[in-house]
Amino acid sequence: MITKLSPIDTAKFVAAKQATSYVQSGMKVGLGTGSTAAWLVQCLGEMVRDQGLRIKGVPTSNRTAELARDAGIEIISLDEAKWLDLTIDGTDEYDSNLSLIKGGGGAHLREKIVATASDKMIVIADASKQVATLGAFPLPVEVLGFGMQTTQNLIAEMLISADVLGHEITQRMQGEAPYVSDEGNFILDLHLKRIGNPRQLSLDLNQIPGVVENGLFIDVCDIVITGHGNGRVELRDIINDTHDTVQFDVQDDGNLFADMAE
């Protein structure tokens, strides 16, 4: 499957590969959105084809659903699943409390619904996603199209007294047109630089009329699996208060897992 990867792709791949060790036949698994989650879908698809893994996946976006179907993973809706054994997803930032900023791919609404309907949420990431304080990555806020300017003004007013450094708000665009989420909503990106109290900010944002959901994930993530370009993987389990390390073999020429190469 893999022949040669850049250090960043190596980090994403080994994180995704390690996360598959939590997946067992018969599980219902939430499938995240983004570049790291795409590696996970590929790894799970290979296990379905080559190892007889039997799972049902609940995708968090239309893009992930297409990837999963192409990989041979059975797809069901969250309503069909009712409850999930685990969700595995990427992140844009995470801190020492395993609080997250998600939504760079515009799917944080579905991602939050799926994650909170799971016994366990595992986040997979490369090392660049770990931060001391959330906020360098713009915080996505999904909003209704109706009265969007009013909603934006209310957010701006709230931010004046919030524990943040930046106050710029931009509407996410796709080319010259506004970005539209899978749920038909728009996204405002809040350029906050530093978020002093993520929990309070999340509560305040979701009280504003017109806000559908924000990209702060508080008390949702249970495990973070962080990959590095040299094949090292760190596992932080906040529930069991453990921190472990796994080393995958990366050859000198940049090839990963010689036994997997075609």
Point out the residues that are catalytic: 111
Structure tokens at 37: 């989650």
Asked if residue 89 lies in contact with residue 124, where contact means CB atoms within 8 angstroms, the answer is: yes
Q: Is the dihedral of CA 203, 205, 206, 209 positive or negative?
A: positive
User: What is the tally of helices (H) and strands (E) in the chain?
Assistant: 7, 17
Burial class (CB within 10 angstroms; exposed 0-12, middle 13-18, buried 19+) of 26: exposed
* E strand or H helix that includes residue 74: strand 74-75
Buried b (16+ CB within 10 A) or exposed e, 202-228: bebbeebebbbbbbbbbebbbbbbbbb
Find, among 228, 219, 226, 223, the residue nearest to 242 by Cα. Answer: 223
Structure tokens at 219: 């008390």
**CB neighbour list of residue 50: distance below 8 Å, 6 or more residues apart:** none
**CB neighbour list of residue 91: distance below 8 Å, 6 or more residues apart:** 100, 101, 102, 123, 125, 129, 217, 221, 224
Q: Is the dihedral of CA 34, 77, 20, 253 positive or negative?
A: negative
Asked if residue 242 lies in contact with residue 225, where contact means CB atoms within 8 angstroms, the answer is: no
